[in-house]
Amino acid sequence: MSLKHLTPDELHPLLNDPSLLLVDIRNDHELVSGILPGALHVPLGNLTAVFDQLPQDKKIVFYCRSGVRSVAAGEFALAQGRTDVSHLAGGILAWANAGLPISAA
């Protein structure tokens, strides 16, 4: 199983999918720029501690600022046995550049 790379335009229509778990793995101080609608905030440094508490029946999409840390989070999730794991290529920067909605954190 490999990590799926989603573009902002591919992810946007999936935000209303109830089987999707969107996880923002940026650090707390990075949230001043906003968060994607419906996202759960779990800083990357805390992911290993809370990973088992994430719903097992959801497709996970990780995102960060630029798409680097979300790859690491996705690879971690795959190593833990999760199979439907994606990340937002280009991160929230690419999302914003595409003119897509960002909510206040």
Tell me the catalytic residues.
Answer: 64
**Cα–Cα distances in angstroms (integers) from residue 53 to residues 33, 91, 101, in the given order:** 26, 24, 28
What is the identity of the amino acid at 102? I
